[in-house]
Structure 1
Amino acid sequence: MKNKAVAVFAVLGLALLGPALAGCADPGSTGGAQDLAPTAVSEASSAEPIRAKPNPEAAALLPAAIKERGTLVVGNSPGSAPLSFYASDNTTIVGSDPAFAQLVADALGLKLELQATSWADWPLGVSSGKYDLVISNVTVTEERKERFDFSTYRNDTLGFYAKSDSKIGEIKEPADIAGKKVIVGSGTNQEKILLAWDAQNKAKGLAPVELQYYDDVSASDLALQSGRADLTFGPNATGAYKAAINGKTKLLGLVPGGWPLTAEIAATSKKGAGLADAVTAAFNGLIKSGEYQKVLDRWGLSSEAVTSSRTNPPGLPKS
């Protein structure tokens, strides 16, 4: 993976940003954006790929067929920086998720085979055996656990962002968005959270929230910068990256992706395939050795770090 591509992305700006990760949602601190700027923008052009040494204990847990094959086939849905997107060659997939895929393959002593897939197609790809693993910002849910095994590697975090000169203060609770105009993705978990917050506000006699929906990033950005909207609410990873790239927005508050519950992002394998324990052990080794944190730091995701990887933890409840 050529990390200089990240610098190219920074120059090209938001034109390469994809949708606001509605798929992950079938699921304050302002450190994310500031932490990202010196790494992903200023230093990425000279940064070396982050690699890891083999972890024999983790590799020993691999299913025999994968160990004999010697490759780890990982599906990934490129679409939104900094998680996963195409470099300037329109072929190479870069971002935090591809970086984690490489580290897991390294730790397991396998050669990585990273394959692009759409969000809609990854479940069938894993179930059919086309992919051994999917690392693509998938949230752990109880419904998904009926078909898949999970190895967690990030907390699912959402962020409220406003334009950089906004006078709106920190957002911590539903009352803070009363009467505000908020951009959100239709059908996402973040929309569900806003609707729940709005219902609480109305019950207390507070002003209603006006939700706004846009089909593309450019229209959304224009609405925010022109004052037609007060806030955007979506995955913090993409919000932090945009804030670092153009300096036009700022973080006002973080919310767990499963509010009022916490949610975790996980590498996803076929249920019963026997791969999850090996991947979990690989992640835990990477956390201990420091490569895990290096990836988070490079892509501005340090606020979403987990202290340990878990296999099949409690997921978001069924609707």
Structure 2
Amino acid sequence: MIRKTGFSAAFAGIFLTVLAGAGHAVDGGFDLSPEQKDRVRTEKSASAIEAISKSFKFVDDGKLTIGLAPGNPPLSTYATDAKTVVGYDVDLAQLVADSLGRELVVVPVAWADWPLGLQSGKFDAVISNVTVTEQRKEKFDFSTYRKDELGFYVKSSGSLTSIKEPKDIAGLKIITDPGTNQEKILLAWDKQNVNNGLKPIEVQYYDDEAVKYLAIESGRADAVFSVNATQAYKAKVNGKTKLVGTVSGGWPITAEVAVTTRKGSGAAEGITQALNDLIANGKYKQVLDRWNLGSEAIDKAATNPPGLPNS
């Protein structure tokens, strides 16, 4: 059963309560200041610098120019001054810039515009939750840095504690995002369950992000299945939900997110080396934990690994 739901007046009181609580928790849970005094830094890496091809031309001498699409915390969002971009992607970009002995320059860009901006030389690389796919590999090089992970989140005070495999969702009311990989996976799991004689799920879609979580709080839905990074942020901010299971965004294939550079530019190997140095010295994990993304850590960065197949 599929249901699309919008804002309900019955949720108004809960809505205001959650917003008030979320605003307080943002101040106490994450540093969204433009100063970023606790940002993790590292020393430059001779091996990473050496691995950058001598033919690679940076946008500006002594700088690393990174394109990213703000507006998706904790990955990237605008700080309290409404103009400085902060978040996990920015922190990682800073570490890569440090490793290469360069000053970081962040260029905000609309998601739809990053491919053209990168190909035209507007920035040296993109760090903006770009998943490795075989189609994208035809035009770009990749250096992996994080799992592409989807998460099941439920009411923090509820009795549901684990969703790991298809049978665990049987009979549940689950919210997801239309036209996405998570919807595709959820419907595939449901079909498998029904074929095995298990109860079907009820899929819910919400136009309003805040109301989505009110549905969980009120018991109108049992779980949200969506991008883990953004849900992890919300869970830490408001304390109303908890993680009970993760699934690769490319299920049944493992998917990873990567720093994206121009195809054949000669930058990818150096960036991959920088990332592996950061994994080895612990700085990589510190930044993940700073933004409540520890579950998305990878053991080793790779250059142009197998990506999600062409659909």
Aligned: 1:49 with 2:66 = no
| Counterpart residue type for residue 246 of structure 2 | L
Give 1:69's aligned residue. Answer: 61
Contact map agreement 2:150 2:248 (CA 8 A) in 1: yes
Give 1:187's aligned residue. Answer: 179
Q: TM-score, normalised by structure 1?
A: 0.84
Aligned: 1:126 with 2:118 = yes
Shift in Å, 1:140: 0.7
Distance 1:46 1:85, change over 3 A: closer
Contact map agreement 2:170 2:200 (CA 8 A) in 1: yes
Contact map agreement 2:174 2:224 (CA 8 A) in 1: yes
Give 1:158's aligned residue. Answer: 150
Unaligned runs of 5+ in 2: 1-18
Shift in Å, 1:199: 1.1
Give 1:252's aligned residue. Answer: 244
After superposition, the CA RMSD in angstroms is 2.4
Distance 1:14 1:79, change over 3 A: farther
Contact map agreement 1:202 1:208 (CA 8 A) in 2: yes
Counting matched residue pairs gives 287
Distance 1:68 1:236, change over 3 A: closer
Deviations 1:90-116 (A, max 9, x none): 111111110000110111111111011
Aligned: 1:304 with 2:296 = yes
Give 1:294's aligned residue. Answer: 286
Unaligned runs of 5+ in 1: 1-10, 16-35
Say which one has the larger Rg. 2
Distance 1:52 1:126, change over 3 A: same
Q: TM-score, normalised by structure 2?
A: 0.86
Deviations 1:27-86 (A, max 9, x none): xxxxxxxxx999747xxx995221111112211233442297222111111122211111
Distance 1:212 1:67, change over 3 A: closer
Deviates more, 1:64-73 or 1:226-235: 64-73
Give 2:264's aligned residue. Answer: 272
Deviations 1:242-273 (A, max 9, x none): 11111111111111221111111100011111
Matching residue within 109, 112, 115 for 2:107: 115
DSSP-derived class of the 2:287 partner: helix
Give 2:13's aligned residue. Answer: none
Shift in Å, 1:176: 1.1
DSSP-derived class of the 2:250 partner: coil
